[in-house]
Structure 1
Amino acid sequence: MSREEKKQELAARAAWMYYVAGVTQQEIARALGLSRQVAQRLVSSAREMGMVSVKIDHPVTHCLHLAREIQDKFGLTLCRVVPSANLDEDAIQQMLAVEGAAVMSQYINDEQPQVFGIGSGKTLRSMIDALPWVERPQHQCVSMIGAIARDDSGTRYDVPLKMAEKMQGKYFFIPAPLYADTPEDKAMWIQHQVYQRVTLRALQADVAFVGIGEVQPGCPLHAEGFITDTQVAALNARGVVGEMLGHFFNQQGERVLGETDELLTSVLLESRTQRQIIGFAGSERKYPAIRAALQGGWVSGLVTDEDTALRLLQE
């Protein structure tokens, strides 16, 4: 790599940190091992070289190489890696939001009608917030999890409506709670014709966008009251490290069935999937779940961060 290319690499990395993650120039200098003056010049030069507009047009080559290696190692059809060296979790989430929105936009910009299956979670919600407004009324957004929360309100993890609004498309939701109260209650929900039509539409989606969740005390499912302290402990005792749409899997990526499966109303997922399912997740906290999702073949594509990618490749 030439001296000029190295300068562009550093400028691109600094631009990601400054414009996307909101990191100060002093923090950029500390993270990259540079003086504050050099960090300031890098940010300015990134803007002058035309890298910075509403997105960062120059990717970090190291991250591109990592993405290709992850794609090859795990047999993915798509992988994107955002810079994350020495950054905290909030900064990484902001990076993922921008890159995730860019990946989604590639599909949304298609003129042909598309059906998007949409999962849940904070990461997906932040990505949809970062999406630009476009006029694509021909597209459809279909929820892959129940739209009713524990207290009978509309769950704030039901993000497909927001995505449908961004592109002025149709929105289809699952008229059921994520977890039914009893197995008999679940049977009632899933026998409803609307439920069956919506879940069939989600199963036949052109592409699905899902979050990959960790399973530990304080994780979203636990914090929101969907699973109890006892259930979290029992799941961890059985080796569970991650979940997608409420489907639990262990560190080898093997599905772990339990009492919650008798109540779960989410759209069916399967390992070694042939469906186009793109997972979005990053940070050290989520690493075991991301690794397990890849080991089990629960996703066909992944958007993650640099440190996570390095760990995945080193193992």
Structure 2
Amino acid sequence: MSTPARFGGANARQEAEMAARAAWLHFVGGLTQSEVAKRLSVPNTRAHRYIARAQSEGLVRVFVDIESADCVDLETRLMAAYGISLCRVAMDALEPGPLPLRALSAVGADYLMQVVASGAHRVIGIGHGRTIAASVDAMGRTPGERIRFVSMLGGLTRSYAANPYDVIHNLARKTNAEAYLMPAPLFANSAEDKRVMMAQSGLAATMDLIGEASLVIVGIGNTESADGGASAAALDQPDAIDELKRGGAAAEILGQFLTAEGAALETPYDERVMAPALESLRGREVVAIAGGESKLAAIRAALRNGLLSGLIVDEATARRLVEEL
């Protein structure tokens, strides 16, 4: 279990207060960084670090109070087409890379903060992936002491772009909630190894908590690129993704695969994945945060499967999904 992060000692508390004060003077008071440094009697470089720290720790939140009619129309059409109860389309932000992380994380963070503030879910399951990690990073501090977060799948022994420990710990730090990590790899070496690990008291307790999650936040992996999903780095062989594609895999959720039509695809990894079966999540709220051109086919497959109750997606991808209806 990961408990909420707290500043240790008087010096750490003083530094945290200075960061908050610097951010307030800069963003609310309108002072330049040089003026902030003079007001706080610190060097310019330290004032800059204080302001950057306040931003990274979610003390600074920027709101753009606008509702795009085009995005609302896309949301409505996707909800009607796929029977989902929630859809949020992030306006395009003209990002340079293939993954629209800034747009997705802004809307994803807003959704997560609303969920935490509402208190409607006592246990929330958290998947892996860069979009989820970026959404948590973008969250402001939102008290949620009565909520428990639990990681939905293993991943401790691999080097992911978004480390699951960092994500779940970051959630705990920003919400003061309890957060539980699954202390296991994404895939066990064998089905027998999985049975042995699942019998351990720590993992069994985590799986029990996963069973209580009424809301699950997931990412969607694809099979079109090497970095398409959290599971890609954990597969046995470098050509494993190609083999899965030849077998019909188009999307990955929690280390399990779907065809382009949305049907569950049986693979050798099913008996080894350290995660709940996707079918066990039906009837709960399952919201995916995903986007980007490379994820188009995977998102479509996930929507066709019917598991998702909600989708947070970028505008360009949403438009393509609607055009192909």
Q: TM-score, normalised by structure 2?
A: 0.74
Offset of residue 124 of structure 1: 0.4
SS of equivalent to 1:185: helix
Offset of residue 260 of structure 1: 1.3
Offset of residue 162 of structure 1: 1.4
Q: Which residue of 1 aligns with 2:245?
A: 236
| CA distance 1:111–1:281, shift in 2 (3 Å) | closer
Report the AA paired with residue 192 of structure 1: Q
Q: In structure 2, how many angstroms separate the alpha carbons of the residues matched to 1:194 and 1:272?
A: 21
Residues 75-86 of structure 1: pairs in structure 2 closer than 5 A = 75-84=83-92
Offset of residue 222 of structure 1: 6.5
What do residues 114-144 of structure 1 show as CA deviations (whole Å, max 9, x unaligned)?
A: 2110000111000000000122211111010
Q: Which residue of 1 aligns with 2:150?
A: 142
Q: Check conservation: 2:93, 2:103, Cα contact below 8 A.
A: no
| CA distance 1:293–1:111, shift in 2 (3 Å) | closer
Q: Which residue of 2 aligns with 1:156?
A: 163
Q: In structure 2, how many angstroms separate the alpha carbons of the residues matched to 1:227 and 1:215?
A: 15
Matched, 1:64 2:64: no
Q: Check conservation: 1:222, 1:232, Cα contact below 8 A.
A: no
| CA distance 1:252–1:178, shift in 2 (3 Å) | same
Matched, 1:211 2:219: yes
Identical columns (%): 30
Q: Which residue of 2 aligns with 1:14?
A: none
| CA distance 1:73–1:112, shift in 2 (3 Å) | closer
Q: Which residue of 2 aligns with 1:12?
A: none
Q: Which residue of 2 aligns with 1:310?
A: 319
Q: Which residue of 1 aligns with 2:124?
A: 116
| CA distance 1:242–1:223, shift in 2 (3 Å) | closer
Report the AA paired with residue 84 of structure 1: D
Residues 271-282 of structure 1: pairs in structure 2 closer than 5 A = 273-282=282-291
Offset of residue 229 of structure 1: 2.5
Q: Check conservation: 1:287, 1:308, Cα contact below 8 A.
A: yes
Q: In structure 1, how many angstroms separate the alpha carbons of the residues matched to 2:119 and 2:305?
A: 33
What 5-or-longer segments of structure 1 have no aligned partner? 1-52
Q: In structure 2, how many angstroms separate the alpha carbons of the residues matched to 1:94 and 1:188?
A: 41
**Over the residues paired in the alignment, what is the CA RMSD in angstroms?**
2.3
Q: Which residue of 1 aligns with 2:189?
A: 181
Q: Which residue of 2 aligns with 1:106?
A: 114
Q: In structure 1, how many angstroms separate the alpha carbons of the residues matched to 2:100 and 2:183?
A: 33
SS of equivalent to 1:261: coil
Q: In structure 1, how many angstroms separate the alpha carbons of the residues matched to 2:126 and 2:281?
A: 19
Report the AA paired with residue 123 of structure 2: V
Q: Check conservation: 2:113, 2:142, Cα contact below 8 A.
A: no
Q: Check conservation: 1:141, 1:161, Cα contact below 8 A.
A: no
Where in structure 1 do 4 or more consecutive aligned residues deviate above 6 Å? none
Q: Check conservation: 1:273, 1:300, Cα contact below 8 A.
A: no
Give 1:92's match in structure 2, choosing from 68, 85, 100.
100
What 5-or-longer segments of structure 2 have no aligned partner? 1-60
Matched, 1:252 2:265: no
Q: Check conservation: 1:222, 1:228, Cα contact below 8 A.
A: no
Aligned residues: 261
Q: In structure 2, how many angstroms separate the alpha carbons of the residues matched to 1:267 and 1:297?
A: 17
Q: Check conservation: 2:108, 2:289, Cα contact below 8 A.
A: yes
Q: Check conservation: 1:217, 1:229, Cα contact below 8 A.
A: no
Q: TM-score, normalised by structure 1?
A: 0.77
Report the AA paired with residue 172 of structure 1: Y
Q: In structure 1, how many angstroms separate the alpha carbons of the residues matched to 2:121 and 2:99?
A: 34
Offset of residue 203 of structure 1: 2.5
Q: Check conservation: 1:208, 1:276, Cα contact below 8 A.
A: yes
| CA distance 1:271–1:87, shift in 2 (3 Å) | farther
SS of equivalent to 2:154: strand
Residues 28-39 of structure 1: pairs in structure 2 closer than 5 A = none
